[in-house]
């Protein structure tokens, strides 16, 4: 089975005011490397949530913030270390960049990773420079946009990655989830944990959000949590069956009917997710090291031997 085809031009990114003075910057279609960001416009300062994957996309984001606020981002939160959320950090020289301490560690260790070669070769990444957060926390930090309280919290377990944080604005019942939640795209836990991601969903649900800006896909409501939970349970159950039958993650993926999940973007992520699920069934701790290159290679094989589709 191949990845969902991208045979139509993508709509341009759009700014949505999701609450008074709080904006989501939504980048269709939310597939590989095309993430959402956001910003809070205070009277004197602007708080940004994540950067973008390419120089062009991050510059467009900066311009959108300037059009709306007349200012630049002065505090930038990274929800986790993945490049679609952090490669553009270097284009915010005015900003204090804030993230979990593990986010800083991984950006410093990985730089601009070579694994980008697994995706479409025509992607124009630009002149990227790895810039790590320089204000870090262990559990969380609270920011204030004027009188509006913004709680930045590490989820407390490996989930999408080992260093996921979310931004919760309790007064508005508004959640920026980072990649703990995907809307319309296949959830991805290769660098995190299936069980941890399911636990994280319970924690997010307890917040009682009414509006959610997911890491990828359209702004939505709390119903997205149940959809992501259903997919992750499907991954775990599929791994249990495949492992019991003596199949590899790739073989299991090839024999699996994705059913209701077949319409999600980037369905080849089932292979990477099964690699993580197998490792956990074998006793690996949440977020423990696995062979990422082998897993990505299997996703490419599942994709007919073609690079993974990326329109960033």
Using one digit for the tens of pLDDT, what is the confidence trace for 12-59?
999 999 999 999 999 999 999 999 999 999 998 999 999 999 999 999
For the stretch 155-204, pLDDT in tens is: 999 999 999 999 999 999 999 999 999 999 999 999 999 999 999 999 99
H or E element, residue 38? strand 37-41
Compute the mean pLDDT over every residue in the chain, rounded to the nearest whole number. 96
9 band by pLDDT with thresholds 50, 70 and 90: confident
Q: Which pLDDT score, from 0 to 100, does residue 7 have? A: 59
| Residues linked to residue 151 through DSSP beta bridges, in sequence order | 142, 168
Average pLDDT of 292-304? 97
What CA–CA distance (Å, rounded) separates 214 from 265? 14
Is pLDDT above 70 for 259? yes
| Residues linked to residue 169 through DSSP beta bridges, in sequence order | 174
Q: What angle do CA 3, 221, 59 make, to 5 degrees?
A: 60
pTM, two decimals, is 0.96
3 band by pLDDT with thresholds 50, 70 and 90: very low
H or E element, residue 269? helix 269-281
72 band by pLDDT with thresholds 50, 70 and 90: very high
Q: What angle do CA 242, 257, 180 make, to 5 degrees?
A: 80
Q: What percent of the chain has pLDDT over 70?
A: 98
Dihedral (Cα; 237, 241, 243, 244), 10-degree rounding? 130
Average pLDDT of 101-125? 96
Is pLDDT above 70 for 5? no
Is pLDDT above 50 for 1? no
Q: Which pLDDT score, from 0 to 100, does residue 76 have? A: 98
What CA–CA distance (Å, rounded) separates 77 from 94? 13
Q: Which pLDDT score, from 0 to 100, does residue 6 have? A: 54
Q: Which pLDDT score, from 0 to 100, does residue 153 have? A: 98
Average pLDDT of 106-110? 98
The token duo for 125 is: 């990444």
């Amino acid at each position: 089975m191949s990845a969902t085809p991208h045979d139509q031009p993508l709509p341009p990114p759009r700014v949505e005011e999701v609450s008074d003075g709080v904006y989501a910057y939504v980048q269709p279609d939310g597939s590989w490397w095309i993430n959402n960001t956001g910003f809070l416009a205070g009277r004197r300062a602007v708080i940004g949530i994540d950067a973008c994957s390419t120089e062009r996309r991050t510059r467009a984001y900066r311009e959108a913030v300037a059009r709306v606020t007349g200012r630049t981002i002065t505090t930038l939160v990274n929800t986790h270390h993945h490049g679609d959320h952090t490669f553009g950090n270097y284009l915010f020289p005015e900003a204090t960049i804030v993230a979990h301490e593990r986010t800083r560690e991984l950006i410093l260790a990985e730089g601009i990773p070579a694994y980008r070669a697994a995706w479409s070769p025509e992607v124009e990444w630009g002149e990227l420079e790895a810039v790590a957060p320089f204000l870090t926390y262990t559990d969380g930090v609270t920011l204030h946009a004027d009188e509006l309280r913004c709680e930045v919290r590490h989820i407390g377990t490996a989930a999408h990655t080992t260093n996921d944080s979310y931004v919760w604005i309790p007064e508005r019942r508004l959640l920026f989830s980072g990649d703990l939640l995907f809307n319309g795209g296949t959830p991805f836990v290769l660098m995190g944990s299936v069980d941890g991601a399911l636990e994280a969903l319970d924690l997010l649900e307890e917040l009682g959000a009414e509006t959610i800006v997911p890491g990828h896909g359209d702004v939505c409501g709390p119903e997205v949590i149940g959809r992501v939970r259903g997919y992750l349970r499907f991954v775990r159950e599929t791994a249990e069956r495949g492992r019991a039958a003596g199949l590899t993650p790739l073989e299991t993926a090839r024999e699996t009917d994705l059913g209701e999940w077949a319409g999600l973007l980037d369905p080849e992520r089932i292979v990477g997710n099964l690699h993580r699920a197998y490792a956990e069934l074998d006793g690996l701790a949440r977020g423990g090291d696995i062979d990422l290159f082998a897993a990505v290679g299997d996703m490419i094989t599942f994709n007919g031997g073609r690079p993974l589709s990326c329109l960033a």
